[in-house]
């Protein structure tokens, strides 16, 4: 036994290792789900809806949709883990209480949660990337940047979801978060249709939507049309990845240590 | 060194004052008990020692460090068996131990060997691959204790470690705790089980309504508050006259209490309840018992007999 408590970084790593240990057990089912779902979406939307929709910006609807699907899978998986998963560990399972009987502090617990949810989201995004590549929808080696962009987007949604878990009193509260928060953000981000035909104010508002930035950056990478503007999107995503963490730590600390 | 020094400790939650100025010391190597009814402030006090709750005011030093400024370093040296349990249901028995070891910064190899050692100590070797929800109540508690010991803690904190266990499981756990005490592990035990307190604690503090009513060794407390022997009559109403008359002959320093049909007398010395007195009561048809005074008597004398919620 060392004389000093482990560093905060090591504590975060220990929390993350706990989550990965659990994930390993669920890995096969998660992997199958992550691959089959985009397959269904691409077939259904791409061929079904794609028949009715003319080319979008000079590309087939399938090519238009693929980067959006990567984003939506990544962000949705992160959000799901950060809400239902985190809340389960926070309340019914008392997993966090157990961790707080060790040198691990609330900040490390919360960052570990966000990283885990972010990783799960990234994994889901990469699964879509694989399927889309098999469909021949990736047009440039810039697609190699997709995992990195998935991490950024997923972390932000992981953070905001952990924050929501911190204020929720039951699983029912997540219904509001999903229907009033997540669904509109996903719908008005350019995942399923381009935003340029929408009224001016919607387009302006969508600039404050982190999903829009994730989708824009993802399209640029998948199409190989990367220009300096991508830094704006990356900056916005970085900001969004970091901002929710501080209030999340505060809320969960207040809840566990009144 | 003194393991815990608490002075005028107060904890308020909004307008509720859960702990109202308690002071006590826990010495190195002893098992110190917090005894009291539900809602007496024991768990809140324990949570402050564990650095999970911040005191509203007062001084609290654990292992020589201030709880406000050194919470991580203190938690690093504590082993905690919490009320209920916080075992990780997503992991197996062995994974629970090894993951916990990881939170304390133990390497993989060390975690594995410590884990195996503790599974043996707690008689859980056969369960190492089992998920938590397949364990019995006693097995869960043993695992909770094994987990608390994984970091070789300087101070072990036990919050009602045997509540809800059957007698076999309880005695098994007590035995293990006595072994630890024999090795010099400092322990703080929170309980409302008198037998547990008497069986394990070197000294205890009796809590009620957020205050400490008295502190001492079990035998000391018994002598101070309940004396040596206790006479109990369960159906005193059956022969009031005889009772009054016979008890009039008791020495004046015998403390008497009446609670409905129950009559209790506490004698400071052995032999106050003489054979002729007892025989007289029996002849009048009063059922009675004379027994050694216990911690339960102390508890009831100090905290009263009213129901707590």
Among A17, A103, A257, beta carbon nearest to B52: A257
Mean predicted lDDT score pLDDT of chain A: 93
Distance, in Å, from the CA atom of A32 to the CA atom of A35, rounded to the nearest integer, reads: 5
Cβ pair A15:B13 closer than 8 A: no
Question: Is B64's Cβ below 8 Å from some Cβ in A?
Answer: no
A–B CB contacts, 8 A cutoff, strictly below? 83
Which residues 164-193 of B are in CB contact (within 8 Å) with A? none
**Residues A110/A100, Cβ–Cβ less than 8 Å:** no
Across the strands, what pairs with B57? Answer: B10
Question: Is B95's Cβ below 8 Å from some Cβ in A?
Answer: yes
Residue of chain A with shortest Cα separation from B158: A101
Residue A237 has pLDDT above 80, yes or no: yes
Query: Of A181-190, B191-200, B255-264, B282-291, where does mean pLDDT reach its minimum?
Result: B282-291
**Per-residue pLDDT band at A2 (split at 50, 70, 90):** low
How many alpha carbons lie under 13 Å from residue B206 in its C-beta half-sphere? 22
Query: Of A76-90, A94-108, B38-52, B268-282, where does mean pLDDT reach its minimum?
Result: B268-282
pLDDT in tens, B87-139: 999 999 999 999 999 999 999 999 999 999 999 999 999 999 999 999 999 99
**Per-residue pLDDT band at B305 (split at 50, 70, 90):** confident
Residue B139: per-residue pLDDT: 95
* B27 and B160 share one domain: yes
* Residue B306 belongs to a domain: no
pTM for the model stands at 0.91
Question: In 3D, which of B229, B223, B224 has the Cα closest to residue B274?
Answer: B229
Cβ pair B99:A14 closer than 8 A: yes
pLDDT in tens, A24-55: 998 999 999 999 999 998 888 877 888 888 88
Question: In 3D, which of B158, B156, B43, B148 has the Cα closest to residue B103?
Answer: B148
* Residue B305 belongs to a domain: no
- The pLDDT of B186-197, averaged and rounded, is 93
Residue of chain A with shortest Cα separation from B107: A1
Question: In 3D, which of A251, A113, A103, A248 has the Cα closest to residue B51?
Answer: A103
CA of B2 to nearest chain A CA: how many angstroms apart? 19
Cβ pair A93:B88 closer than 8 A: yes
Residue A164: per-residue pLDDT: 96
Residue B237 has pLDDT above 90, yes or no: no
* B240 and B133 share one domain: no
* B138 and B245 share one domain: no
Question: In 3D, which of A35, A71, A65 has the Cα closest to residue A50?
Answer: A65
Residue A8: per-residue pLDDT: 95
Which residues have CB under 8 Å from B239's CB, separation 6+?
Answer: B284, B285, B286
What's the DSSP call for residue B249? Answer: T
Among B78, B86, B106, beta carbon nearest to A98: B86
Alpha helices by DSSP H, listed for chain B, are: 42-49, 71-77, 93-103, 108-121, 137-149, 167-182, 194-200, 218-221, 240-248, 275-283, 295-303
* B83 and B155 share one domain: yes
* Residue B241 belongs to a domain: yes
* B237 and B91 share one domain: no
* B16 and B77 share one domain: yes
Last residue of some domain: B168, B196, B217?
B217
* B28 and B152 share one domain: yes
Tokens of A43: 């077939």
Comparing B212 with A57, which gets the higher pLDDT? B212
3-state SS, chain A, equals CCCCCCCHHHHHHHHHHHHHHHHHHHHHHHHHHHHHHHHHHHHHHHHHHHHHCCCECCECHHHHHHHHHHHHHHHHHHHHHHHHHHHHHHCCCCHHHHHCCCCCCHHHHHHHHHHHHHHHHHHHHHHHHHHHHHCCCCCCHHHHHHHHHHHHHHHHHHHHHHHHHHHCCCCCHHHHHHHHHHHHHHHCCCCCCCHHHCCHHHHHHHCCCHHHHHHHHHHHHHHCCCCCCHHHHHHHHHHHHHCCHHHHHHHHHHHHCC
Residue B309: per-residue pLDDT: 62
pLDDT in tens, A208-219: 999 999 999 999
Residue of chain B with shortest Cα separation from A100: B52
Comparing B279 with B104, which gets the higher pLDDT? B104
Mutate one of A16, A99, A102 to test the B interface: name it (highest B CB count within 10 A): A102
Question: Is B115's Cβ below 8 Å from some Cβ in A?
Answer: no
A-chain residues within 8 Å CB-CB of B50? 101
Among A97, A102, A258, beta carbon nearest to B75: A102
What percent of chain B has pLDDT above 90? 75
**Per-residue pLDDT band at A6 (split at 50, 70, 90):** very high
Last residue of some domain: B217, B243, B273?
B217
Mean predicted lDDT score pLDDT of chain B: 92
Last residue of some domain: B169, B192, B217?
B217
A-chain residues within 8 Å CB-CB of B80? 101
- The pLDDT of B253-258, averaged and rounded, is 88
Structural domain of B210: 2-217
B-chain residues within 8 Å CB-CB of A97? 82, 86
* Residue B298 belongs to a domain: no
Residue A43: per-residue pLDDT: 87
To 5 degrees, how large is the angle CA A101–CA A96–CA A171?
A: 155
To 5 degrees, how large is the angle CA A95–CA B165–CA A87?
A: 15
Report how many domains make up chain B. 2
CA of B308 to nearest chain A CA: how many angstroms apart? 24
Question: Is A100's Cβ below 8 Å from some Cβ in B?
Answer: yes
Distance, in Å, from the CA atom of B274 to the CA atom of B278, rounded to the nearest integer, reads: 6
* B213 and B241 share one domain: no
Cβ pair A14:B105 closer than 8 A: yes
Cβ pair A4:B73 closer than 8 A: yes
Question: Is A91's Cβ below 8 Å from some Cβ in B?
Answer: no
Q: What φ, ψ does residue B210 adopt, rounded to 5°?
A: 80, 5
Count how many residues are written for chain A: 258
pLDDT in tens, A151-162: 999 999 999 999
Residue A1: per-residue pLDDT: 52
* B248 and B285 share one domain: yes
CA of A137 to nearest chain B CA: how many angstroms apart? 38
* Residue B307 belongs to a domain: no
* B55 and B122 share one domain: yes
- The pLDDT of A99-124, averaged and rounded, is 96
* Residue B150 belongs to a domain: yes
* Residue B127 belongs to a domain: yes
pLDDT in tens, B20-77: 999 999 999 999 999 998 889 999 999 999 999 999 999 999 999 999 999 999 999 9
CATH number, domain with residue B269: 3.30.70
Question: Is B82's Cβ below 8 Å from some Cβ in A?
Answer: yes
Count of Cβ atoms closer than 10 Å to residue A202 Cβ: 12
CATH number, domain with residue B177: 3.40.50.300
Residue of chain A with shortest Cα separation from B89: A93
Q: Tell me, what's the ipTM?
A: 0.90
* B51 and B132 share one domain: yes
Question: In 3D, which of B300, B97, B64 has the Cα closest to residue B192?
Answer: B300
pLDDT in tens, B129-178: 999 999 999 999 999 999 999 999 999 999 999 988 999 999 999 999 99
**Residues B58/B21, Cβ–Cβ less than 8 Å:** yes
Residue A171: per-residue pLDDT: 96
* B122 and B267 share one domain: no
Cβ pair A103:B53 closer than 8 A: no
């Amino acid at each position: 036994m060392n004389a000093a408590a482990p560093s905060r970084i090591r504590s975060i790593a220990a929390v993350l290792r706990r989550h990965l240990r659990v994930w390993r057990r669920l890995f096969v089912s998660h992997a199958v789900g992550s691959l089959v779902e985009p397959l269904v979406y691409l077939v259904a939307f791409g061929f079904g809806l794609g028949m009715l929709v003319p080319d979008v910006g000079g590309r087939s609807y399938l090519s238009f949709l693929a980067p959006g699907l990567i984003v939506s899978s990544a962000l949705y998986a992160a959000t799901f883990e950060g809400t239902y998963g985190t809340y389960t560990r926070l309340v019914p399972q008392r997993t966090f209480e157990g961790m707080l009987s060790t040198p691990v502090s609330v900040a490390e617990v919360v960052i570990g949660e966000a990283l885990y949810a972010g990783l799960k989201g990234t994994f889901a995004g990469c699964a879509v990337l694989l399927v889309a590549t098999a469909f021949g929808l990736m047009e440039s080696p810039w697609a190699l940047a997709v995992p990195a962009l998935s991490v950024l987007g997923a972390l932000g949604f992981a953070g905001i979801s952990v924050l929501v878990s911190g204020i929720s009193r039951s699983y029912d509260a997540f219904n509001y978060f999903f229907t009033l928060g997540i669904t509109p953000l996903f719908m008005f981000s350019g995942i399923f249709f381009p935003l340029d035909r929408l009224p001016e104010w919607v387009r302006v508002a969508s600039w404050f939507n982190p999903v829009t930035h994730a989708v824009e950056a993802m399209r640029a990478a998948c199409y190989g049309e990367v220009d300096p503007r991508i830094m704006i999107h990356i900056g916005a995503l970085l900001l969004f990845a970091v901002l929710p963490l501080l209030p999340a730590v505060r809320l969960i600390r207040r809840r566990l240590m009144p | 060194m003194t393991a815990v020094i608490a002075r005028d400790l107060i904890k308020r939650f909004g307008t509720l004052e859960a702990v109202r100025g308690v002071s006590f010391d826990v010495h190195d190597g002893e098992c110190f008990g917090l005894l009291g009814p539900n809602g007496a402030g024991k768990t809140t006090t324990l949570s402050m020692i564990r650095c999970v709750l911040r005191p509203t005011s007062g001084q609290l030093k654990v292992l020589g460090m201030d709880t406000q400024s050194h919470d991580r370093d203190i938690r690093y040296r504590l082993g905690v068996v919490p009320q209920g349990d916080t075992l990780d249901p997503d992991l197996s028995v062995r994974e629970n131990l090894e993951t916990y070891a990881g939170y304390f910064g133990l390497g993989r190899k060390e975690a594995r060997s410590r884990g195996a050692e503790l599974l043996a100590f707690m008689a859980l070797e056969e369960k190492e691959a089992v998920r938590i929800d397949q364990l019995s109540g006693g097995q869960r508690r043993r695992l909770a204790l094994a987990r608390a010991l994984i970091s070789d803690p300087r101070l072990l904190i036990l919050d009602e470690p045997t509540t809800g266990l059957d007698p076999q499981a309880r005695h098994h756990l007590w035995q293990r705790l006595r072994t630890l005490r024999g090795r010099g592990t400092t322990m703080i035990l929170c309980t409302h089980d008198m037998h547990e307190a008497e069986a394990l604690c070197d000294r205890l503090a009796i809590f009620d309504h957020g205050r400490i009513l008295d502190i001492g060794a079990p035998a000391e407390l018994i002598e101070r508050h309940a004396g040596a022997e206790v006479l109990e009559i369960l159906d005193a109403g059956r022969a009031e006259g005889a009772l009054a008359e016979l008890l009039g002959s008791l020495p004046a320093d015998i403390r008497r209490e009446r609670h409905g049909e129950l009559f209790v007398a506490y004698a400071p010395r052995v032999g106050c309840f003489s054979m002729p007195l007892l025989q007289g009561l029996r002849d009048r048809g009063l059922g009675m018992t004379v027994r050694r005074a216990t911690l339960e008597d102390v508890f009831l004398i100090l905290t009263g007999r009213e129901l707590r919620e």
